[in-house]
Structure 1
């Protein structure tokens, strides 16, 4: 919510429908009884919601279980296409994945979280627990910390004053430690996540910004610790990321001139 904007009343039925869709996203496939238990609504109520969502192709039913349909994809695709950074960054992410042999992502910030706009991988995607649209915390991800480094100190304070959660034993939640790390990221331009969001996964990222420090998003490279040794983590991948991010930012500037 933007500063000065008053909180409006919400429609409970819409919130419930979104709650059901979100639970289906998390679980994959689920029956009515289990879904009812998970979200705290009666079986009858859940069944009515599912019937409505199924009629509109938001939900599909297979062998007595429900799962997300494909219609939400059209909304996500339309939203992604309007994102400026997606238009100028997609090809760079593909090049980054090819150069590193790992999973590269294009990420933006929304309402204090990261959202993955695009992902390209050169390995079995089962090794990386991320996907298009995944929402993650800023404080525990390389992309999130990279984007924090471009934000104002007051915005950083707002993020860190939230409930900063643990995800692994390596997650840093101490406010002063995080602030110190963000200052280091501002100096070197590269952020690291060493098994802070997911056990066994290392990630390197840098923020993408315009010439006037307008935050566009971030690009990152992730991979399992058994493939990303210390030299690759601290030297090789950061250099590849710098190369690609420089091209994306130049393209952003050129696009601004042409508009």
Structure 2
């Protein structure tokens, strides 16, 4: 279940919320001036200016040619957070090997607060995927990894996630009906893997399996292979990709027994 502390409507500090709204807006705009940012957020320029000066003094925002952008201090924080996740430490080398052997993009995904987080992503020379950045949060039902993660939750927990985030559409193939999602998750539990078929990005297909760890050291995590749809036909999925993916997951699960 999702923590009550993370649910909307809980007690909040407005100034902290404003600061993070400003940070996320700078990320969206890439670089911007005070007026542009104030208009984007519909808040007073004076409020924006104070927050920007504070963030700049702390090293989280950089000012160049009169415009502000996010600083690399965020990369340091994110890198430390990822480094401290056991799933990253244990699974990274196996996902690298998986990517090299298949020539496709390998990923490690993690569930946090009801969303899928991209913890790690390989970049093979010929690999093609949606070019999602490491650390990206997305809706769970959009991706193979997200659906593999949902398969480790109960139906009631899935309903809680959907109640909080809804089932927004990314492409015409995206699941937008709760009953349809629960039916597919049931199939994933039975077969042990999930498929993403152009459900987030047109032309991209992915297959994922959850990491099963009795001690829960890995949290709710999964690994996947992604690539152009034409390279992910049924024959290759079942003869090569799925066995390779399951073998990598098995090695990761065995390593957790001795982690």
Answer whether TM exceeds 0.5 for this pair: yes
Aligned to 2:63: 61
1:141 and 1:193 in contact (8 A); partners too: yes
State the match for 2:256 in structure 1.
252
Contact kept in structure 1, 2:103 and 2:126, CA below 8 Å: no
1:70-96 CA distances to partner (integer Å, 9 max, x unpaired)? 111222222222212112111112112
Distance change (3 Å), C-alpha of 1:62 and 1:126: farther
Structure 1 moving runs of 4+ over 3 Å: 3-8, 123-127, 211-216, 226-235
Instruction: Decide which of 177, 182, 193 is 2:180's aligned counterpart.
Output: 177
1:219 maps to 223
- 1:233 Cα deviation (Å)? 4.5
Q: What is the RMSD computed on CA atoms of the aligned residues?
A: 2.4
Matched position secondary structure for 2:50: helix
| 1:220 Cα deviation after fit | 1.2
* Match in the other structure for 1:93: 95
* Partner SS state of residue 121, structure 1: coil
Give the 3 Å change call, closer, same or farther, for CA 234–173 of structure 1 in structure 2. farther
| CA separation of 1:126 and 1:221: change in aligned 2, threshold 3 A | closer
Equivalent positions of 1:1-259 (< 5 A) are 2=3, 9-123=11-125, 128-162=130-164, 163-211=166-214, 215-233=219-237, 235-255=239-259
Shift of 1:122: 0.6
Aligned partners of 2:221 and 2:12: how far apart in 1?
30
CA 1:21–1:56: 2 relative to 1, 3 Å:
same
Deviations 1:194-240 (A, max 9, x none): 11112222111111121367854011122233544454445432222
TM-score of the pair, normalised by structure 2: 0.89
Structure 2 residue runs without a partner (length 5+)? none
Alpha-carbon distance, 1:65 to partner: 2.3
Instruction: Name stretches of at least 5 consecutive residues in structure 1 with no aligned partner.
Output: none
Q: 1:102 and 1:139 mapped to 2: Cα distance?
A: 22
What is the TM-score with the length of structure 1 in the denominator?
0.89
Q: CA 1:25/1:237 → structure 2, altered by over 3 Å: closer, same or farther?
A: farther
Q: For 2:75 and 2:236, locate their aligned partners in 1 and report how far apart those are by CA, in whole Å.
A: 35
- The answer to whether the 8 A contact 1:106-1:118 is kept is yes
